[in-house]
């Protein structure tokens, strides 16, 4: 219950804004002017122009067909149209499972790994953390803290060690101990894109070579950055094929709308959402719940 109420609370701001505006513009008549205003409401909630116009087109057709009169019925249709944008096939969670977690500095990668560790642990899985961010000593110390909190194992080395070596040893340790879940932390420094690119590619190569289980590359993005997130998706997807997104800091944001933009433009599913800094503040993403909490 705790997690859910937090999740609902997280999107409350977005919901208030969108719902209030729809009530303001909904006067019974669903004319062109109404739809134009609706599109504006969606775009200003960070649902991109492309995604907003698709939502509006779909809802327009449906509303005509179903002869919608009330605001409640209209919102139901709108929800349907929004869910269909987010309805991207998610890879099933099959074990053993390895996540390589990537993203720019400060988006919440290390925190998300701590929360994921706890989440899988609660589901009776054996989890190993791999401290692949060797750029700063503080990074592996931070991950060590999370490993203690979540009570899971960690493989780490000193600052400056080749992240490839950490990943290699981490994976082989996980295989030896028959772990179910391996979570790899990575550095996100952006001032050196080429260095970052090479590092991540090398990690991906080692994962491909050493790991036989299910493997995914997940990009962490900070919901409060809004449309900037799209640039990050673009950049990281060029380096590594991304299989999913972890959207963090929804608790501090009225910008959950960016998920529609990502789904529409890149067809990459959102897998988890972060709603705080605590161990339990992470949820698998569910499009219906998400939309239900937006309008």
Binding residues vs ligand GDP (CB under 6 A): 103, 105-111, 188, 220, 248-249, 251-252, 274-277, 281
Residue 79 corresponds to which tokens in the numbers above? 């929800």
Binding to Mg ion by residue 100, rule CB under 5 A?
no
Name beta bridge partners: 217: 100
Minimum CB distance to ligand GDP, residue 141 (Å): 11
Report d(CA 7, CA 121) in Å as an integer: 20
90: which DSSP letter? P
Q: Which is nearer to Mg ion, 51 or 139 (CB)?
A: 139
Which of ligand GDP, Mg ion, none has residue 275 at its interface (CB below 5 to 8 Å by kind)? ligand GDP
Q: Which is nearer to ligand GDP, 164 or 252 (CB)?
A: 252
Nearest by Cα to 126 from 177, 167, 172: 177
Nearest by Cα to 146 from 104, 117, 114, 107: 114
Residues near Mg ion (CB under 5 A), total: 2
Binding to Mg ion by residue 147, rule CB under 5 A?
no
Nearest by Cα to 248 from 139, 127, 101: 101
Minimum CB distance to ligand GDP, residue 232 (Å): 11
Q: Which is nearer to ligand GDP, 177 or 193 (CB)?
A: 193
Q: Which is nearer to Mg ion, 110 or 134 (CB)?
A: 110
Q: Which is nearer to ligand GDP, 107 or 155 (CB)?
A: 107
Q: Name, in order, each residue with C-beta under 8 angstroms of 216's C-beta and a sequence gap of 6 or more.
A: 91, 97, 98, 99, 100, 243, 244
Report d(CA 58, CA 40) in Å as an integer: 16
Minimum CB distance to Mg ion, residue 101 (Å): 9
Minimum CB distance to ligand GDP, residue 92 (Å): 25
Neighbouring C-beta atoms of residue 112, cutoff 10 Å? 27
From 64-72, 107-115, 168-176, 207-215, give the range in contact with Mg ion by CB under 5 A: 107-115
Minimum CB distance to ligand GDP, residue 24 (Å): 30
Instruction: Give ∠ CA 189-191-193 in degrees, rounded to 5.
Output: 80
Give, to the nearest 10 degrees, the angle between helix 32-44 and helix 2-25: 140
Q: Which is nearer to Mg ion, 85 or 219 (CB)?
A: 219
Nearest by Cα to 247 from 219, 266, 268, 227: 219
Contact mark string toward Mg ion, 110..139, x via CB under 5 A: x-----------------------------
Q: Which is nearer to Mg ion, 114 or 269 (CB)?
A: 114
Which of Mg ion, ligand GDP, none has residue 108 at its interface (CB below 5 to 8 Å by kind)? ligand GDP
Nearest by Cα to 133 from 154, 116, 156: 156
Cis peptide before 199 (omega within 30 of 0): no
Where along the sequence are the contacts to Mg ion (CB under 5 A)?
A: 109-110
């Amino acid at each position: 219950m705790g997690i859910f109420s937090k999740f609902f609370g997280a999107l409350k701001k977005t919901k208030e804004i969108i719902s209030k505006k729809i009530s303001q513009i909904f006067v019974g008549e669903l004319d062109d002017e109404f739809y134009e205003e609706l599109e504006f409401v969606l775009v200003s909630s960070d649902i991109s122009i492309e995604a907003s116009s698709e939502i509006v087109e779909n809802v327009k057709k449906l509303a005509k067909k179903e002869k919608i009169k009330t605001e409640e019925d209209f919102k139901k249709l709108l929800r349907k149209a929004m869910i269909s944008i987010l309805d991207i096939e998610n890879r099933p969670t099959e074990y053993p499972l390895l996540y390589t977690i990537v993203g720019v500095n400060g988006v919440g990668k290390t925190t998300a790994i701590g929360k994921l560790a706890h989440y899988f642990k609660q589901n009776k899985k054996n989890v190993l953390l791999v401290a692949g961010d060797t750029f700063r000593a503080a990074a592996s110390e931070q991950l060590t803290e999370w490993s203690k909190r979540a009570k899971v194992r960690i493989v780490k080395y000193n600052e400056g060690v080749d992240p490839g070596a950490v990943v290699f040893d981490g994976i082989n340790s996980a295989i030896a101990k028959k772990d179910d879940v391996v979570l790899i932390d990575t550095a996100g420094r952006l001032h050196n894109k080429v260095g970052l690119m090479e590092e991540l590619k090398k990690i991906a190569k080692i994962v491909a070579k050493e790991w036989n289980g299910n493997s995914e590359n997940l990009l962490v993005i900070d919901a409060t950055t809004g449309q900037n997130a799209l640039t990050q998706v673009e950049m990281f997807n060029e380096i590594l094929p991304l299989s999913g997104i972890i959207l963090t800091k929804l608790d501090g944001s009225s910008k959950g709308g960016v998920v529609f933009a990502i789904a529409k433009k890149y067809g990459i599913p959102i897998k988890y959402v972060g709603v705080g800094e605590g161990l339990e503040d992470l949820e698998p993403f569910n499009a219906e719940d998400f939309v239900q909490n937006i309008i």
